[in-house]
Every structure is written in structure tokens, then in C-alpha cells.
Amino acid sequence: MTIEAQKLEVINKIAMLQDTLLLAKVKQILDKSDIHKSLTKPRQAGWGKGIFTYIADDFNDIPQGFEDYIPQK
């Protein structure tokens, strides 16, 4: 089942609800998800500066057997 089909199924079930307590719970869940989205901050460049203090001298060397996976220029 696709995500669109799942959304339509949930929307249809919500539309048929008659219980006000269930509707309140659904609204509470939806409101929490909106709040969570607004609280997330975009990533900021440079936050990891200084984490890596050592990089091996052979870091850019190609391990034996992986030569075929390197694109040719």
C-alpha cells in the first residue's frame, strides 16, 4: 500500500469518527507532530570542528582490490 493510499484511509476513518474523545486524541497527536517539526533547527556548518584530531597518512590510499571501483578520469 502506498503512502498516499494510507493517508486517504486514515483521513476517511477520521472523517467518520463520532467520538469526541478520539477526535481530541487525533488532534493532539497531529498538533504534537506540528510542534516537533517547528522545533527542529536546520543544520549549522562547522559544528563538528575539532572532533577529528588525527587522520592517518594513508587516508586517501586505495585499499588493495578496490582499484576497479575508482572512476577513471
Please check whether residue 18 lies inside any domain of the structure: yes
Please check whether residue 29 lies inside any domain of the structure: yes
Please check whether residue 43 lies inside any domain of the structure: no
Say whether pTM exceeds 0.75. Answer: no
C-alpha count within 13 angstroms, C-beta hemisphere, residue 19 = 5
Please check whether residue 17 lies inside any domain of the structure: yes
Distance (Å) of CA 55 to CA 45, 47, 64 = 20, 18, 20
For residue 73, pLDDT over 80 is answered with: no
Structural domains counted in the chain: 1
The three-class DSSP label of residue 62 is coil
Domain that includes residue 21, residue range: 6-35
Residue 14 CB coordination number (10 Å): 13
Give the tens place of pLDDT for each residue, 23-48: 998 888 888 876 666 666 777 898 88
